[in-house]
């Protein structure tokens, strides 16, 4: 993705033609009157007839009613019955056409768009014509249901648009005619999408309409308008209802435009949005992290005001609302866990069954004790105050006013303490109390910890003091002492719930209500007609909508100013768009206000200042479950490791107020080195919130890099100034990102280096070969010393001087070795070129070793001499060595003299009885390397190092440890065994020629590849030995890099310490290995990886170190995120504008457009990691 040009098209030519065809179909509800090719006229005529069919059927009932032949309900029933019959006939025609095996021929054309839908029609009523006009339903149940529903829509629509009825509403024949004509057009559009052909809606929520919900969208809204009219017919003398009916009749004729613009949501989005709105503003709850939790919480919460309405005692009502409000504000998962734990303890009858485990047991009980204490205090306080005031002569309003003043003081203190925790006050002025010297990390975090102590005071005031004060305010209210009413039940149920669910917002609302009551007259409408619960409800709605309006206005201004001020965002239409927005500013403000009232996203078309009202949708913005999809790659594991550490740091910051006001739908952006973390608040309750953490790709595209650089600039200007001025302004105020705080998180730092001058140095390569033998010796001895005695593979030596005879592999009774599935050697192969090329040529194998899937048959090889079973020989008469030489098949031809010593299996006779504990497994001793070559290269074996390593072992715990180790070190048989195996592995890595390896060969062997030779199969058939050899090779290469960077190794002790550090603290391997990912999740302290950058032609290394790092956290404009996601949904799901170079995905330094698109849920976005809902305990 390159840099953006002003000429980047919004839609390419193909998509423009496609959109011009699709949009008229959407407006009309499904008729395809613009096909893009020449079709017979009867195609258009048939569609027009089907479109007007409901009007004709409804016209029959309307005419009979106007002629006083039928009553209004009878006329509606007649039209509905005719429509049911017609819909059934239409669906049967579709079923019949599908059963006909007619091949639809495609016409040859160069236009790709035409190739998709160009057909050859043979007749007006032919099968291919019917299938084109009436695609039909996927399910039989929908065929029946939609047909019946079509009849109801037609019948009720006829009743709704009867001319006499409309005339009674408006008293104007002209208005009646207009509403009748355009109203029936609306009905025809709804019927066509339901029965004939469903149009693609601009308001698309689901990526796939599995259950055919889309056809129900338009009839659903028709039913809503008709239901209001029916209520007005049967419930008379309600002026408000009559006015609403008049307004809705006018809006009814505008429904096609609202459907076409995508303002009205589809049924599923409407359901979840409506439930969220009612739960939050009507019942005092919060948006939930999953749809199931949302529906369950809504049902339970809705029962609270119903039950409270029927409680006869006012004290009982107060206690019930207080208790249920507290319990419902807790984390539902926590409550269900406590319930399950109680049931389990009751069944088992034991109190020793802990819920979360030993580590979190004390924390769980501490939190449980806090909840019980707070609930008990709240119930006691509410009951006593309510009962005391009802009996005493003390003025209720006076006592409530005193509590109101206390709440005002608490609000001021809590607000001030919250603003001191973040870098900016109101996002504009730099906080003078925030630490300034962030460059010194330890000093900065020490000062920040002192600031967090102030945050602890805020937490106490907000979590313990404020809720109890608000409960007192509500318990003293006079509205609770009167007769029960619906408004009191709903209003106070919400009020007592909000006290706990969202304490900070509830505190603000209570203070506003108290202040208005103090300054206003008791005779005003606000105080006379509304009780305190309803006042709090209205103030809550106003508060939410006011915040939304301000953030939407900021978003709109940012889009407009960015188009004008950012040169890279300029287009040919820039001036025109800016002038139009200035001229029609009142209209733009009206659009913003309408989207605010509906709590729907403000949709900037193609992210340009062309604003539309997006359809209302849930806070999550996406239909799928949170955290179920992500574009997983090798970097995903870093985010997996990061999440537990990050949530622990967020817990402290959120509790202190460093991230500002926590509301469902808030978005935060975290930045650390090259990683970007997207955090969304899903749910908010008493002392907890649920978040979703997404990890974005690590700067793979230029657009991503450009926006990431701007994010770095925003954070650097806030946190990394050398001498910040007191109360200086935020330099990036126009950006959608506002810095909040810095979190200390234990993460992996990622350093990448170029190894030019190290890996290609002849001196280093020479030392590498010598070091490799030493490391091989160390790795093999360490492995054998740590091996359990039970894994000696049948090797038994009872006394000193007893001979151990080693069987050839063909006659060994051990099971077949497993293939190396988890090694990179199974995934790499050699190219046809030399194995010593400077550049590695690693290719994926097309065939892997399958030895573990093939049974060991031990059949003789044709043309070879059968091996004699050693069990047939008597004890002490072992076969000679030459009988156990390996038959070498498939290897390059060698001279006769070389073939004589092609394989050698030594007979071992240990001089020390303890040597058997360090002996190498039998199957490792036989190899295809010529014995003469091993003897020739045996002088390279470092005997002094070998003895030093043995003397350092800790595997012997006897009192004569030093004597035993000395005897083992002097055991010549054991030494010869190690010489034979080590040199065979050494030759297997570098070949028979003892030349200096090339950098390309080092990288290939590091990746798990071996040169083609007889030892290839020998090592590959021994997975354990192969892994040890590869491990030694990787350790040696890391040692070479360290020696070049830190200096040479002085002595054997330093070398031993270095290798022990590799073994203990390092994982040296490949990023693509599963062990690498497991080690990261286990938080291994350090990682090393070798690679080759083909684009630059250089060898590189990658080092990861686990350490406490600074993670910058900033808050994003939530409406900017929702608006861009709404545009993304419209572009991809409706306009199908999936061009990777499209305008709306290009880098935008102010809107962070590319990052926002990435953070969307798949398949529209592409985060590489997305967590399940994570609960964070704010206590």
Supply the pLDDT for residue 1004.
Answer: 87
Token representation of residue 126: 């032919």
> Is residue 120 pLDDT above 50, yes or no?
yes
Residue 821: pLDDT above 60? Answer: no
How crowded is residue 34: how many other Cβ atoms within 10 Å of its Cβ? 12
Cis peptide before 316 (omega within 30 of 0): no
| Distance in angstroms (rounded) separating the CA atoms of residues 971 and 951 | 13
Whether the pLDDT of residue 827 is over 60: the answer is: no
Which token pair is 1128?
Answer: 């993304």
Q: Could you write out the DSSP letters of every residue in 736-748?
A: SEEEEEEEEEEEE
Query: What is the per-residue pLDDT for 1007?
Result: 87
In this prediction, residue 873 carries a pLDDT of 39
Per-chain mean pLDDT for the chain: 83
* Model pLDDT, residue 745: 93
With contact defined as beta carbons under 8 Å apart, do 139 and 148 qualify?
no
**Most confident by average pLDDT, 754-768, 803-817, 949-963:** 754-768
Average pLDDT over residues 465-474: 95
d(CA 972, CA 57): 107
Give the mean model confidence (pLDDT) for residues 346-372.
Answer: 61
Read off the pLDDT band of 1094 (50, 70, 90).
confident
Minimum mean pLDDT range among 428-442, 528-542, 740-754: 428-442
823 versus 257: the higher-pLDDT residue is: 257
CB 1120 within 8 A of CB 1151: yes
List the beta bridge partners of residue 679.
668, 693
pLDDT score recorded for residue 869: 41
Q: Does 387 or 73 have the greater pLDDT score?
A: 73
Distance of CA 807 to the CA centre of its chain: 56
The runs of H, that is alpha helices, within 392-502 are: 396-419, 441-460, 466-475, 486-501
Res. 239 pLDDT band, cuts 50 70 90? confident
What are the helix (H) ranges across 828-971?
Answer: 896-900, 931-937, 943-951, 961-969
Residue 771: strand pairing partners: none
**Which 8-state DSSP code applies to residue 764?**
H
Q: How far apart are CA 1037 and CA 914, in angstroms?
A: 33
Q: In this predicted structure, what is the pLDDT of residue 833?
A: 36
Q: Could you count the other beta carbons within 10 Å of the beta carbon of residue 132?
A: 21
Distance CA 508, CA 459 (A): 16
Per-residue pLDDT at 390: 66
Tell me 422's DSSP state: S
Residue 812's pLDDT band (boundaries 50, 70, 90)? very low
What lies within 8 Å, CB to CB, of 1049 at 6+ separation is 1039, 1043, 1055, 1058
* End-to-end C-alpha distance for the chain, whole angstroms: 45
Q: d(Cα 879, Cα 874) in Å, to the nearest integer?
A: 10
Q: What is the pLDDT of residues 570-602, one digit of tens each?
A: 888 889 999 999 999 999 999 999 999 999 999
Highest average pLDDT, of 349-363, 519-533, 580-594, 893-907, comes from: 580-594
- The two beta strands, 1066-1069 and 1086-1093, are parallel
Q: Is it the case that residue 1155 has pLDDT exceeding 90?
A: yes
Query: Nearest-CA neighbor of 153 among 71, 255, 234?
Result: 255
What would the DSSP string read from start to end of 662-686? --TT-EEEEEETTEEEEEEEEEEET
What's CA 1093's distance to the chain center, in Å? 30
The per-residue b/e assignment along 754-781, b for 16 or more CB within 10 angstroms, e otherwise, is: ebeebbbbeebbebbbebbbbbbbbbbb
**Better-scored residue on pLDDT, 342 or 945:** 945
What angle (nearest 5°) sits at the alpha carbon of residue 548, between those of residues 544 and 549? 120
pLDDT confidence of 8, banded at 50, 70, 90? confident
pLDDT of residue 724: 63
**Average pLDDT score over residue span 553-560:** 96
| pLDDT > 90? residue 995 | no
**Mean of pLDDT values over 169-179:** 92
Phi then psi for residue 681, to 5 deg, are: -85, 120
CB-hemisphere CA count at 13 Å for 628? 8
With 0-12 / 13-18 / 19 or more C-beta atoms within 10 angstroms meaning exposed / middle / buried, residue 526 is middle
Query: What is the structure's pLDDT at 972?
Result: 86
Q: Is the dihedral of CA 914, 918, 919, 923 positive or negative?
A: positive
Q: What is the pLDDT of residue 2?
A: 46
Query: With pLDDT > 90 as the criterion, what percentage of the chain qualifies?
Result: 53
State yes or no: pLDDT of 1017 exceeds 50.
yes
Q: Is the pLDDT of residue 1000 over 80?
A: yes
DSSP at 235: S
* Mean pLDDT along residues 307-331: 93
The secondary structure element, H or E, covering residue 1134 is none
Residue 341 scores a pLDDT above 90: no
Tell me the percentage of the chain whose pLDDT exceeds 70. 82
Q: Is the peptide bond before 1163 cis (omega within 30 degrees of 0)?
A: yes
- Rounded distance between C-alpha atoms, residue 502 and residue 686, angstroms: 7
**3 state DSSP class of 719:** helix
pLDDT at 641 over 60: yes
Q: What pLDDT does residue 880 have?
A: 36
The pLDDT of residue 738 is above 90 = yes
Q: How far, rounded to the nearest angstrom, does the alpha carbon of residue 979 sit from its chain's CA centroid?
A: 53
Output the pLDDT for position 435: 84
Residue 846 φ then ψ, to 5°: -85, -20
pLDDT digit string, tens, across residues 643-683: 999 999 999 999 999 999 999 999 999 998 889 999 999 99
Please give the average per-residue pLDDT across 231-249, as a whole number. Answer: 89
| Polymer length in residues for the chain | 1179
**CB contact at 8 A, 1172 and 626:** yes
Whether the predicted pLDDT of 695 surpasses 70: yes
pLDDT of residue 883: 32
Q: What is residue 162's predicted lDDT score, i.e. its pLDDT?
A: 94
Instruction: Report how far Cα 265 is from the mean position of its chain's Cα atoms.
Output: 25
Q: What is the pLDDT of residue 344?
A: 64
Distance (Å, rounded) from C-alpha 200 to C-alpha 189?
Answer: 13
* Structure tokens given for 850: 């399958």
73-91 pLDDT, tens digit per residue, is 999 999 999 999 999 999 9
Rounded to an integer, the average pLDDT of 1007-1022 is 70
CA distance 152 to 167: 23
- d(Cα 587, Cα 610) in Å, to the nearest integer? 12
pLDDT tens digits, one per residue of 1051-1092: 899 999 999 999 999 999 999 899 999 999 999 999 999 988
pTM: 0.85
In the predicted structure, residue 813 carries a pLDDT above the cut 60: no
536: Cβ contacts below 8 Å, ≥ 6 apart? 491, 494, 495, 498, 506, 509, 510, 513
Tell me what pLDDT residue 757 has.
87
Higher pLDDT, 1010 or 1133: 1133
- At 742 the pLDDT is 92
* Burial (Cβ within 10 Å: 0-12, 13-18, ≥19) of residue 251: exposed
* Calpha distance 880→1133 (Å, rounded): 77
pLDDT at 645: 94
Q: What is the pLDDT of residues 696-724, one digit of tens each?
A: 987 666 777 889 999 999 999 888 776 56
861-918 confidence digits (pLDDT tens): 333 333 344 344 333 333 333 333 333 333 344 444 443 344 455 566 777 777 787 8
Instruction: Report residue 908 as tokens.
Output: 């071992």
More confident residue, 24 or 956: 24
Which of 281-295, 683-697, 965-979 is predicted least confidently? 965-979
Residues 730-734: contacts with CB within 8 Å, 24+ apart?
730/424, 730/427, 730/428, 730/429, 730/430, 733/427, 733/428, 734/558, 734/561, 734/562, 734/1150
d(CA 823, CA 1030): 9
Sign of CA dihedral 1069, 1070, 1071, 1076: negative
Above 50 in pLDDT, residue 752?
yes
Q: Quick one: average pLDDT of 318-333?
A: 94
The pLDDT value given to residue 436: 78
Number of neighbours of residue 720 by Cβ within 10 angstroms: 14
Q: Is the sign of the CA dihedral 379, 381, 382, 384 positive or negative? A: positive
């Amino acid at each position: 993705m390159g840099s953006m040009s002003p000429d980047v098209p919004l839609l390419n030519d193909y998509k423009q033609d496609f959109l011009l065809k699709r949009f008229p179909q959407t407006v009309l509800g499904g008729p395809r009157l613009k096909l893009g090719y020449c079709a017979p006229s009867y195609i258009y005529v048939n569609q027009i007839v089907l479109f007007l069919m409901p009007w004709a059927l409804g016209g029959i009932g309307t005419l009979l009613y106007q002629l006083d032949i039928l009553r209004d309900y009878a006329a509606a029933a007649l039209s509905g019955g005719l429509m049911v019959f017609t819909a059934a006939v239409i669906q049967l025609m579709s079923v019949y056409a599908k059963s006909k095996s007619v091949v639809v021929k495609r016409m040859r054309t160069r236009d790709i768009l035409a190739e998709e839908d160009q057909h050859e029609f043979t007749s007006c009523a032919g099968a291919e014509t019917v299938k084109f006009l009436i695609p039909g339903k996927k399910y039989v149940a929908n065929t029946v249901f939609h047909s019946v529903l079509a009849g109801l829509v037609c019948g009720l629509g006829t009743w709704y648009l009867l001319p006499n009825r409309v005339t009674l509403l408006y008293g104007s024949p002209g208005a009646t005619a207009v509403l009748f004509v355009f109203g029936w057009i609306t009905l025809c559009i709804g019927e066509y999408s339901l029965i004939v052909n469903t149009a693609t809606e601009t308001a698309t929520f689901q990526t796939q309409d599995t259950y055919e919900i889309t056809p129900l969208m338009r009839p659903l809204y028709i039913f809503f308008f008709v239901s209001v009219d029916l209520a007005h017919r049967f419930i008379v003398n309600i002026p408000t209802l009559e006015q609403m009916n008049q307004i809705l009749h006018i809006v009814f004729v505008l429904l096609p435009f609202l459907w076409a613009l995508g303002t009205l949501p589809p049924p599923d989005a409407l359901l979840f949005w409506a439930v969220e709105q009612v739960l939050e503003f009507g019942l005092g709850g919060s948006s939930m992290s999953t749809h199931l939790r949302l529906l369950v919480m809504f049902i339970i919460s809705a029962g609270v005001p119903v039950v409270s309405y029927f409680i006869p005692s006012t004290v009982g009502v107060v206690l019930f609302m207080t208790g249920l409000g507290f319990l419902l504000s807790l984390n539902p998962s926590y409550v269900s866990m406590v319930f399950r734990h109680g049931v389990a303890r009751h069944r088992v009858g034991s109190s020793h069954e802990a819920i979360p485990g030993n580590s979190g047991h004390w924390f769980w009980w501490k939190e449980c004790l806090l909840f019980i204490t707070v609930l008990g205090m709240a119930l006691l306080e509410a009951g006593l105050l309510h009962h005391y005031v009802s009996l005493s002569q003390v003025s209720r309003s006076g006592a409530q006013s005193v509590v109101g003043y206390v709440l005002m003081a608490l609000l001021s203190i809590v607000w001030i303490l919250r603003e001191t925790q973040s870098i900016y006050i109101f996002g504009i002025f730099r906080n003078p109390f925030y630490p300034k010297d962030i460059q010194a990390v330890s000093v900065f975090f020490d000062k920040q910890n002192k600031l967090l102590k102030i945050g602890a005071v805020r937490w106490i005031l907000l979590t313990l003091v404020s809720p109890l004060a608000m409960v007192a305010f509500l318990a003293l209210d006079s509205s609770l002492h009167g007769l029960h009413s619906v408004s009191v039940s709903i209003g106070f149920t919400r009020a007592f719930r909000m006290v706990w669910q969202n304490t900070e917002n509830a505190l603000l609302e209570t203070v506003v209500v108290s202040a208005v009551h103090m300054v206003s007259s008791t005779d005003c409408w606000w105080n006379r007609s509304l009780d305190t619960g309803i006042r709090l409800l209205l103030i809550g709605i106003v508060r939410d909508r006011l915040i939304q309006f301000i953030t939407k206005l900021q978003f709109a201004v940012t889009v407009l100013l960015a188009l004008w001020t950012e040169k890279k965002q300029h287009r040919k239409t820039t001036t025109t768009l800016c002038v139009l927005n200035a001229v029609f500013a009142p209209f733009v403000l009206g659009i913003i206000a309408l989207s605010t009232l509906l709590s729907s996203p403000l949709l900037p078309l193609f992210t340009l200042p062309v604003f539309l009202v997006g359809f209302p949708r849930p806070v999550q913005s996406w239909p799928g479950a949170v955290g179920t999809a992500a574009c997983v790659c090798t970097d995903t594991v870093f985010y997996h490791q990061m999440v537990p550490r990050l949530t622990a740091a967020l817990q402290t910051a959120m509790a202190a107020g460093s991230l500002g006001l926590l509301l469902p739908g808030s978005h935060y952006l975290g930045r650390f080195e090259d990683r970007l973390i997207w955090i969304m608040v899903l749910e908010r309750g008493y002392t907890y919130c649920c978040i979703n953490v997404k990890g974005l790709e690590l700067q793979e595209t230029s657009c991503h890099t450009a926006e990431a650089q701007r994010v770095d600039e925003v954070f650097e200007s806030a946190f990394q100034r050398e001498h910040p001025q007191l109360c200086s302004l935020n330099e990036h105020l126009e950006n959608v990102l506002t810095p909040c705080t810095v979190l200390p998180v234990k993460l992996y730092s990622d350093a990448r280096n170029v190894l030019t001058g190290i890996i290609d140095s002849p001196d280093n390569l020479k030392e590498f070969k010598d070091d490799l033998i030493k490391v091989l010796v160390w790795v093999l001895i360490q492995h054998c010393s740590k091996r359990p005695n039970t894994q000696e593979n049948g090797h038994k030596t009872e006394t000193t001087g007893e001979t151990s005879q080693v069987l050839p592999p063909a006659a060994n009774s051990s099971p077949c070795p497993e293939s190396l599935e988890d090694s990179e050697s199974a995934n790499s192969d050699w190219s046809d070129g030399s194995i010593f090329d400077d550049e590695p040529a690693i290719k994926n194998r097309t065939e892997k070793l399958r030895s573990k899937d093939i049974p060991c048959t031990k059949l003789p090889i044709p043309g070879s001499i059968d091996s004699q079973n050693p069990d047939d020989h008597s004890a002490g008469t072992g076969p000679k060595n030459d009988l156990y030489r390996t038959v070498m098949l498939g290897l390059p031809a060698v001279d006769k003299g070389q073939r004589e010593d092609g394989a050698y299996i030594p007979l071992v006779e240990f001089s020390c009885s303890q040597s058997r504990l360090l002996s190498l497994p039998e199957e490792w001793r036989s190899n295809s390397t010529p014995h003469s070559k091993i003897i020739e290269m045996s002088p390279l074996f470092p005997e002094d190092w070998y003895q030093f390593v043995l003397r350092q072992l800790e595997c012997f715990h006897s009192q004569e440890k030093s004597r035993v180790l000395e005897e083992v070190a002097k055991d010549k048989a054991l030494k010869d065994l190690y010489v034979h195996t080590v040199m065979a592995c050494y030759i297997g890595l570098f070949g028979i020629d003892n030349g200096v390896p090339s950098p390309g060969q080092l990288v290939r062997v590091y990746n798990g590849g071996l040169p083609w030779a007889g030892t290839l199969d020998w090592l590959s058939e021994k997975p354990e030995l192969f892994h040890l050899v590869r491990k030694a090779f990787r350790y040696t290469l890391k040692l070479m890099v360290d020696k070049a960077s830190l200096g040479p190794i002085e002595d054997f002790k330093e070398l031993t310490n270095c290798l022990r550090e590799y073994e203990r603290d390092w994982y040296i391997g490949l990023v693509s290995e599963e062990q690498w990912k497991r080690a990261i999740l286990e938080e291994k302290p350090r990682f090393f990886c070798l690679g080759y950058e083909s684009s630059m032609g250089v060898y590189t290394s990658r080092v990861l170190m686990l350490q406490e790092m600074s993670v910058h956290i900033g808050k994003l404009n939530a409406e900017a995120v929702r608006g861009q996601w709404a545009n993304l949904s419209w572009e991809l799901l409706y306009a199908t504008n999936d061009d990777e170079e499209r305008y709306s995905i290009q880098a935008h330094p102010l809107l962070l457009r590319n990052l926002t698109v990435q953070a969307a849920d798949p398949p529209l976005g592409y985060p590489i990691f997305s967590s399940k809902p994570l609960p964070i305990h704010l206590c």
